[in-house]
């Protein structure tokens, strides 16, 4: 019997020669590697990420099996491809899996009824159950027979019959289903095997080689699982129980393979992403850090490491991070809220406030930065508590805020109607930024846009207060996340004035100076909330741009004089008249640090004239672009050539911190 042609896809939207998700497709790649290793005599496997790549392959070759890994940012795209594949190749087996699957039985039945071209829905981790499905399909090659078979972790509809092991319809959530209690379907969960070592590596198997050429970001997994049960997060729901670890020898081999491949192909890849839910929190992570550092020393890769760091074990996290090359690890502190009642509602416990101070003191001593995730419209949080939380973190020294919308994700407790009703949570849909385009799928032009459901009001926060909070987020984005105030913070710190006092003053005075920007931003924020989305006739820009990033650029490049006046007046309001000259000098530096859209100068020397500023900064400071900023700007300018495109895309693709010149102080010149 010939081998089964098996296509495994974790698609991402593509536009203007750029991908919305830039990481290697690790989830589906892991399943592909496991199939290739275990059934090499029965299957030929290929992994896809780029929609046009999959389309070209489908034109040339009929697959026997197509698997799709679905996330919130690619579900509609995956469904569109699956539907066209089934129309052209009716006897191709279509399997869906991934994190974007509901925990509610009825919703999954509805999903299959609405999308009859999907044959099987895999509800848990995919490697072992997919191996069983593919092996059985090889034996009898009958989709209907397969769908009616017993698979503890799959759901299918065949005729009027519903199949899911011994599940009965009165079960409400798949957390209660027998599939999640069957340890045989979870790699590394058996008592005799506490690792992920049975699952082959998509890197070492060669399945990911083609993604290096595209300059994508390698993504590795050193452990799987999360001990936390946050109601908004998919990790705790889809990875119940004990955290499982991959052997350090395998991690080392993957890192070495990645570094050598980058060197061999001479591609511009500087980043490494770690998929672990709580990186650096476990004792095993010290070995991973040691392995990364060895690769850094020999191959100068990775220059930057992205991850979601652990929620506790602070000392261990800081110690591990300090063993990496300086500046390569950007610690991400996921606080979500600083309000105790809210944290209880989302089943979360944060690091204590004094620990945040310790984190930032430690990072600043090593000239490194920290990031905090804060979510809006969480259950029980008031506008006062939200503002207070942001100001508290600001004063603790957090360098950048991700002020996130609360998204109702499938596979979380928050998606339950009973949970939403309990906290009076009002939801609206909107298009996910960058997740839309027109695609040619097997000769048919189809417009596809991904939608997300966000919380815009609760019993403790009105929609009007939601908008006021978004206004503060925009202020934080413009003045804080860009790092444009970093030299002014140094000045305020020296006088013992909290940073939040300046931000609060800017917020209070903002309507006088940048009212037009704020109104545009809030109008766009309201307009993107969808009641009836018709992409063929609607103005897509209303729905599809990232509003806070767009209006950050609008403010910097169309209202820069207004920003300067707002900053100057705010500083005059909180400082005595004796500092007037200092303020003028500091504001002028602020102006110089905004990178213009048509940048030409790579650096400036600025002479300091006032006495106190000389004590803090020396007689002159260097205002300059880092090598990374220069490379990022050059690449961005090659892709986006006109001013409107750059304003719309610059902040989203470069990130706010790369929209301002850096500055350095000659320490020996300080008085």
Q: If phi over 0 gives left and psi between -120 and 50 gives alpha, with beta otherwise, what is residue 21?
A: beta
pLDDT, tens digit, 9 for 90 and up, residues 422-437: 999 999 999 998 898 9
CB-based contact 567:479 (threshold 8 Å) = yes
Looking at mean pLDDT, say which of 228-237, 365-374, 480-489, 591-600 comes out highest. Answer: 480-489
Segments of 458-574 assigned E as strands: none
Contact in structure between 346 and 373 (CB atoms under 8 Å): no
Report yes or no: 121 and 154 within 8 Å, Cβ to Cβ.
yes
Q: What percentage of the chain exceeds 70 in pLDDT? A: 88
- pLDDT bin (cut points 50, 70, 90) of residue 667 is low
Q: Please indicate, yes or no, whether residues 176 and 289 belong to a single structural domain of this protein.
A: no
CA distance to 58, 643, 656, per residue, from 558 (Å)? 46, 11, 16
The verdict on 126 and 227 lying in the same domain is no
Assigned domain for 54 exists = yes
The CB density around residue 576, as the number of other CB atoms within 10 Å, is: 8
Distance CA 4, CA 10 (A): 19
Given this model, what pLDDT does residue 366 score? 66
Give the span between the Cα atoms of 91 and 382, in whole angstroms.
54
- Is the domain of 105 the same as that of 233? no
**Average pLDDT score over residue span 313-328:** 83
Q: Are residues 18 and 116 in the same domain?
A: yes
How far, in Å, CA of 153 to CA of 133, rounded? 11
Please give the Cα distance from 10 to 3 (Å, whole number).
Answer: 22
**Structure confidence at residue 12 as a pLDDT band (50, 70, 90):** very high
Q: Which of 141, 164, 185 is the last residue of a domain?
A: 185
Residue 239 has pLDDT above 60, yes or no: no
CA dihedral 174, 175, 178, 182 (to 10 degrees): 130
CA distance 490 to 533: 47
- Helices 499-527, 383-396: axis angle to 10 degrees equals 130
Residue 630 has pLDDT above 60, yes or no: yes
Same domain, 232 and 171: no
- Encode pLDDT of 194-224 as tens digits: 468 888 999 999 999 999 988 899 999 999 8
Phi-psi region of 521 (alpha: psi -120 to 50; beta: other; left: phi over 0): alpha
Q: Is residue 567 part of a domain?
A: no
pLDDT at 642: 82
User: Do residues 187 and 127 make contact, with C-beta atoms less than 8 angstroms apart?
Assistant: yes
Q: Which of 302-311, 526-535, 581-590 has the highest mean pLDDT?
A: 581-590
pLDDT in tens, 453-498: 999 999 999 999 999 999 999 999 999 999 999 999 999 999 999 9
Helices (H), 178-337: 209-213, 234-238, 248-265, 285-299, 314-322
* pLDDT score at 608: 94
Q: Supply the pLDDT for residue 540.
A: 65
- Residue 191, pLDDT above cutoff 60: no
Check whether 171 has a pLDDT greater than 50: no
Number of compact structural domains in the chain: 2
Asked if the structure places residue 343 within a domain, the reply is no
Phi and psi torsions of 652, nearest 5° = -65, -45
Mark whether 208 and 146 lie in a shared domain.
Answer: no
Does residue 168 surpass a pLDDT of 50? no
User: Same domain, yes or no, for 214 and 125?
Assistant: no
From the list 446, 545, 474, 601, the residue with the least C-alpha distance to 52 is: 446
56, 92, 431 from 78: Cα distances, Å = 15, 15, 16
The radius of gyration of the chain from alpha carbons, rounded to an integer in Å, stands at 26
Residue with tokens 């919703």: 107
Q: Residue 253: inside a domain, yes or no?
A: yes
Mean pLDDT of 296-304: 95
The answer to whether residues 177 and 72 belong to one domain is yes
**111 in Cβ contact with 139 (< 8 Å):** no
- Burial degree of 352 (CB within 10 A; 0-12, 13-18, 19+): exposed
In a domain, 173, yes or no: yes
The whole-number pLDDT of residue 179 equals 41
Burial of 150 (0-12, 13-18, 19+ CB in 10 A): exposed
Is pLDDT at 147 greater than 50 in this prediction? yes
Cis before residue 213, ω within 30 degrees of 0?
no
What DSSP state is assigned to residue 419?
H
**Which of 274, 302, 329 is the C-terminal boundary of a domain?**
329
Residues 37 and 157 in one domain: yes
On whether the CB atoms of residues 180 and 122 are closer than 8 A, the answer is no
How far from 10 is each of 70, 207, 307, CA to CA, in Å? 7, 13, 20
pLDDT at 187: 56
- The reported pLDDT for the residue numbered 666 is 64
Q: How many helices (H) and strands (E) does the chain have?
A: 25, 22
Task: Say if 125 falls within a structural domain.
Answer: yes
Enter the DSSP assignment of 667.
G
Domain that holds residue 228: 194-329
* 408 CB-near residues (< 8 Å, 6+ apart): 414, 415, 420, 427, 453, 454, 455
What's the rounded Cα separation, in Å, for the pair 437 and 431? 12
Q: Six-digit token pair at 382?
A: 């008031």
Residue 417 CB burial class (10 angstroms; 0-12, 13-18, ≥19): exposed
Q: Who wins on pLDDT, 524 or 638? A: 524
Among 282, 300, 329, which residue terminates a domain? 329
Q: 283: burial class by Cβ within 10 Å (0-12, 13-18, 19+)? A: exposed
Q: What is the DSSP letter of 517?
A: H
Concatenated DSSP letters for 341-407? HHHHHTT--PPPHHHHHHHHHHHHHTT--EEEEEEES-TT--HHHHHHHHHHHHHHT--EEEEEE-B
594 is written with which tokens? 């905004």
pLDDT value, residue 222: 94
Give the H/E segment covering residue 455: strand 444-457
pLDDT in tens, 49-104: 999 999 999 999 999 999 999 999 999 999 999 999 999 999 999 999 999 999 88
Q: Average the pLDDT over 320-324 and give the result.
A: 87
Residue 164's pLDDT band (boundaries 50, 70, 90)? Answer: low
Distances 541 to 89, 425, 468, 550, 646 between C-alpha atoms, Å: 36, 27, 23, 11, 14
Judge if 29 and 82 occupy the same domain: yes
pLDDT at 348: 78
| Same domain assignment for residues 161 and 268 | no
Give which of 424, 356, 420 is closest to 390, Cα–Cα. Answer: 356
| CATH code of the domain in which 123 resides | 3.40.50.280
Residue 532 per-residue DSSP state: S
Same domain for 181 and 207? no
| E strands in 146-231 | 154-158, 161-163, 219-220, 223-224
For residues 517-545, average pLDDT: 78
| Per-residue pLDDT at 536 | 56
How far apart are alpha carbons 493 and 284 in whole angstroms?
A: 38
Look at residue 262 in the predicted model and tell me its pLDDT. 97
> Which of 109, 96, 101 minimizes the C-alpha distance to 162?
109
In a domain, 598, yes or no: no
Range with lowest mean pLDDT among 165-169, 450-454, 491-495 = 165-169
Q: Is residue 505 part of a domain?
A: no
Average pLDDT, the chain: 87
Reported pTM: 0.89
> Which residues, 6 or more positions from 191, have their beta carbon under 8 angstroms from its beta carbon?
none
């Amino acid at each position: 019997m010939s081998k089964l042609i098996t296509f495994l896809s974790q698609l991402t939207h593509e536009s203007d020669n750029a991908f919305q998700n830039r990481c290697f497709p690790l989830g589906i790649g892991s399943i592909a590697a496991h199939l290739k290793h275990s059934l090499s005599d029965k299957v030929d496997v290929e992994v896809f990420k780029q929609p046009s790549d999959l389309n070209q392959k489908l034109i040339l070759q009929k697959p026997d099996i197509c698997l799709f890994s679905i996330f919130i940012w690619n579900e509609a795209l995956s469904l569109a491809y699956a539907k066209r594949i089934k129309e052209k190749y009716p006897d191709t087996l279509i399997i869906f899996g991934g994190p974007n699957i509901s925990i509610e039985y009825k919703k999954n039945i509805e999903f299959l009824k609405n999308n009859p071209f999907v044959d099987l829905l895999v509800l848990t981790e995919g490697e072992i159950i997919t191996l069983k499905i593919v092996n059985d399909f090889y034996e009898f090659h009958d989709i209907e027979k397969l769908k009616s078979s017993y698979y503890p972790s799959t759901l299918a509809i065949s005729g009027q019959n519903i199949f899911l092991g011994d599940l009965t319809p009165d079960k409400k959530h798949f957390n209660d289903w027998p599939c999640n209690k069957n340890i045989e379907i979870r790699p590394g969960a058996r008592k005799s095997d506490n690792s992920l070592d049975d699952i082959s590596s998509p890197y070492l198997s060669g399945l990911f080689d083609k993604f290096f050429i595209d300059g994508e970001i390698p993504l590795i997994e050193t452990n799987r699982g999360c001990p936390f049960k946050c109601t908004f997060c998919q990790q705790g729901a889809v990875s119940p129980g004990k955290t499982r670890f991959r052997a350090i020898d395998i991690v080392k081999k993957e890192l070495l393979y990645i570094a050598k491949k980058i060197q061999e192909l001479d591609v511009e890849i500087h980043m490494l992403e770690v998929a672990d839910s709580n990186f650096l929190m476990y004792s095993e992570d010290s070995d991973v850090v040691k392995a990364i550092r060895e690769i850094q020393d020999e191959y100068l890769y990775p220059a930057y490491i992205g991850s979601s760091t652990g929620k506790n074990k602070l000392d261990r996290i800081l110690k591990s991070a300090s063993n990496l090359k300086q500046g390569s690890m950007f610690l991400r502190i996921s606080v979500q809220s600083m309000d105790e009642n809210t944290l209880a509602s989302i089943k979360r416990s944060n690091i204590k406030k004094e620990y945040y101070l310790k984190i930032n003191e430690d990072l600043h001593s090593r000239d490194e930065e920290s990031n905090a995730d804060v979510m809006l419209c969480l259950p029980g949080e008031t506008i006062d508590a939200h503002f207070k939380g942001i100001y508290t973190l600001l004063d603790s020294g957090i360098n950048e805020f991700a002020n996130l919308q609360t998204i109702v994700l499938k596979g979380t407790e928050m998606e339950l109607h009973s949970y939403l009703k309990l906290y009076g949570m009002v939801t609206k849909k909107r298009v996910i930024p960058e997740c839309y385009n027109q695609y040619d799928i097997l000769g048919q032009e189809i417009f596809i846009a991904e939608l997300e459901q966000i919380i815009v009001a609760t019993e403790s926060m009105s929609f009007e207060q939601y908008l006021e909070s978004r206004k503060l987020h925009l202020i934080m984005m413009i003045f804080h996340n860009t790092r444009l105030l970093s030299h002014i913070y140094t000045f305020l710190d020296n006088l013992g004035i909290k940073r939040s006092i300046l931000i609060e003053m800017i917020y209070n005075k903002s309507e006088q100076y940048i009212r037009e920007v704020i109104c545009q931003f809030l109008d766009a924020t309201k307009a993107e909330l969808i009641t009836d989305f018709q992409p063929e006739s609607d103005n897509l820009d209303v729905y599809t741009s990232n509003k806070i990033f767009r209006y950050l650029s609008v403010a910097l490049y169309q209202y820069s004089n207004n920003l300067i006046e707002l900053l100057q007046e705010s500083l005059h309001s909180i400082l005595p008249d004796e500092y007037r000259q200092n303020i003028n000098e500091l504001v002028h530096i602020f102006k110089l640090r905004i990178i213009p859209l048509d940048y030409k100068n790579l650096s400036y020397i600025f002479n300091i004239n006032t006495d106190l500023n000389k004590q803090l900064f020396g007689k002159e400071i260097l205002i300059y672009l880092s090598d990374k900023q220069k490379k990022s700007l050059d690449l961005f300018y090659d892709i986006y050539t006109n001013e409107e495109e750059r304003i719309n895309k610059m902040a989203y693709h470069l990130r706010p911190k790369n929209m301002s010149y850096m500055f350095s102080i000659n320490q020996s010149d300080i008085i």
